Amino acid sequence: MNNKKNKTSTLTFMGLLFAMALVLAFFESMLPVLPGLPAGVKLGLSNIVTMYTLFCIGFKASVSIAVLKSFFVFLTRGAISASISFCGGILSVIAMALLLLVFKKKLSYFVISIFGGIFHNIGQLTAVCFYMGTALAAYYLPVLIVSGFFMGMITGTILNVVMPHIRKADNAIRKNDSSL
């Protein structure tokens, strides 16, 4: 019975994380475009949730969050946007998971977040090149690598600040689930 309660609390927490990702994406869409940023560059606030999920719950759960975020993009912006989101999200999760696996916690979440931002942009650019049927869009790669670096720094910093608070919510859910 305890295993069933653990699965229930994990599923409940995953639902809250997905909701948090949607709220962050909505909040980010309300922000004005920052002057001087290259076209298409965003903070990627909802990626904070994907990173937290990878670091604290695991690979499968973070892939689930990335897929759910892409499905939501499909519902709100269409198939092409969803596939671009999917490619960026999945490549980012894989890159960060490989760094965690290879360096076995010798790298900080901040550094891993930077790589996540860079690979997210590479995944999205790859999807765009596929849809365009040409690699011409790859000229934008240096811009996306630099922006991925800086946006990864920002999201990594935010994650380090909010991670203790998210963990408290997870512990509260698990505590309440075990008391049933």
The residue extents of the domains of the chain are 2-28+43-172
Q: What pLDDT is stored for residue 91 in this prediction? A: 97
Q: What pLDDT is stored for residue 30 in this prediction? A: 87
Q: Which pair of tokens denotes residue 103?
A: 């360096």
Q: What pLDDT is stored for residue 153 in this prediction? A: 95
Q: Judging by beta carbons within 10 Å of its beta carbon (0-12, 13-18, 19+), is residue 79 exposed, middle or buried?
A: exposed
Q: What pLDDT is stored for residue 2 in this prediction? A: 58
pTM for this entry: 0.87
Q: What pLDDT is stored for residue 23 in this prediction? A: 94
Tell the CATH topology of 2-28+43-172: Arp2/3 complex 21 kDa subunit ARPC3 (1.10.1760)
DSSP run (H or E) holding 82: helix 79-103
Q: What pLDDT is stored for residue 1 in this prediction? A: 47
pLDDT in tens, the chain (180 residues): 456 667 887 888 899 999 999 999 989 888 888 788 787 788 899 999 999 999 989 999 999 999 999 999 999 999 999 999 999 999 999 999 999 999 987 888 899 999 999 999 999 999 999 999 888 888 999 999 999 999 999 999 999 998 888 888 777 766 766 554
Torsion of CA 48, 128, 40, 69, to 10 degrees: -30
